[in-house]
């Protein structure tokens, strides 16, 4: 049942070069007291349905956002089970690589995904997920092309992750 929600989790819609996704299907209880630093210009805050916060770069349509949910936490016994359901719901994306790391003293996963889109454009996505207390956090960076690991946009996402603090 939850995988059905996760399939809606990342509904990717292509309108020309504009890409968006919807987290609203999992929106029940948002974490309170999250601390983060908004990405710098040219990113502009935007409202994306279901996201806690979202920013879009109008120069290249990249989107940086985060989502928290504290209501499904008891459904999963581990971060690994949450990750599996998340990836099952992202079946149109291909997992390229993943790294296990630590964030705020908690195990975390940094996932790298790609999807061939319309007009033979490749869409890249990075997802950083972790669990703290009874909440899951999903930080995402959707890019309209596969950026090199050292690119400025990727560095913006890495800085966002480093500064993100869950209560």
pLDDT at residue 140, as a whole number: 95
Is residue 15, in this structure, part of any structural domain at all?
no
pLDDT at residue 28, as a whole number: 63
**Over the range 131-152, which residues count as b (16 or more CB within 10 Å of their CB) and which as e?**
bbeebbbbbbbbbbeebeeeee
Is residue 33, in this structure, part of any structural domain at all?
no
Q: Give the tokens for residue 160.
A: 């966002």
We report the CATH number of the domain holding residue 147 as 3.40.1000.10
Is residue 90, in this structure, part of any structural domain at all?
yes
Is residue 35, in this structure, part of any structural domain at all?
no
Q: How would residue 117 be classed by pLDDT, with cut points 50, 70 and 90?
A: low
pLDDT digits (tens, 9 = 90+) for 8-27: 333 332 222 334 444 444 44
Q: Distance from CA of residue 106 to its chain's centroid? A: 18
Is residue 18, in this structure, part of any structural domain at all?
no
**At which residue do the structure tokens 């993943």 appear?**
98
Is residue 147, in this structure, part of any structural domain at all?
yes
Backbone Cα Rg of the chain: 15
Q: What pTM was computed for the model?
A: 0.79
State the residue range of the domain holding 106: 2-7+50-163
Q: Please, which residues have CB within 8 angstroms of residue 98's CB and are 6 or more apart in sequence? A: 109, 110, 111, 112
Domain count, the chain: 1
pLDDT at residue 151, as a whole number: 75
Is residue 23, in this structure, part of any structural domain at all?
no
Is residue 77, in this structure, part of any structural domain at all?
yes
Q: Give the tokens for residue 113.
A: 């995904």
């Amino acid at each position: 049942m939850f995988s059905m929600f996760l399939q809606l989790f990342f509904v990717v819609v292509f309108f020309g070069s504009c890409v968006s996704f919807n987290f609203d299907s999992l929106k029940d209880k948002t974490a309170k007291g999250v601390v983060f630093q908004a990405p710098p210009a040219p990113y502009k805050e935007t409202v994306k349905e279901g996201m806690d916060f979202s920013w879009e770069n109008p120069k290249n349509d990249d989107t940086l956002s985060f989502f928290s949910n504290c209501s499904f936490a008891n459904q999963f016994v581990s971060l690994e089970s949450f990750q599996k359901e998340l990836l099952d719901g992202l079946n149109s994306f291909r997992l390229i690589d993943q790294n296990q790391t630590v964030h705020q003293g908690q195990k975390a996963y940094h996932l790298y995904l790609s999807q061939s889109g319309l007009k033979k454009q490749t869409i890249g996505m990075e997802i950083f997920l972790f669990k703290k207390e009874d909440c899951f956090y999903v930080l995402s960076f959707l890019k309209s092309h596969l950026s090199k690991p050292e690119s400025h946009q990727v560095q913006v996402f890495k800085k966002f992750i480093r500064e993100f603090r869950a209560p």
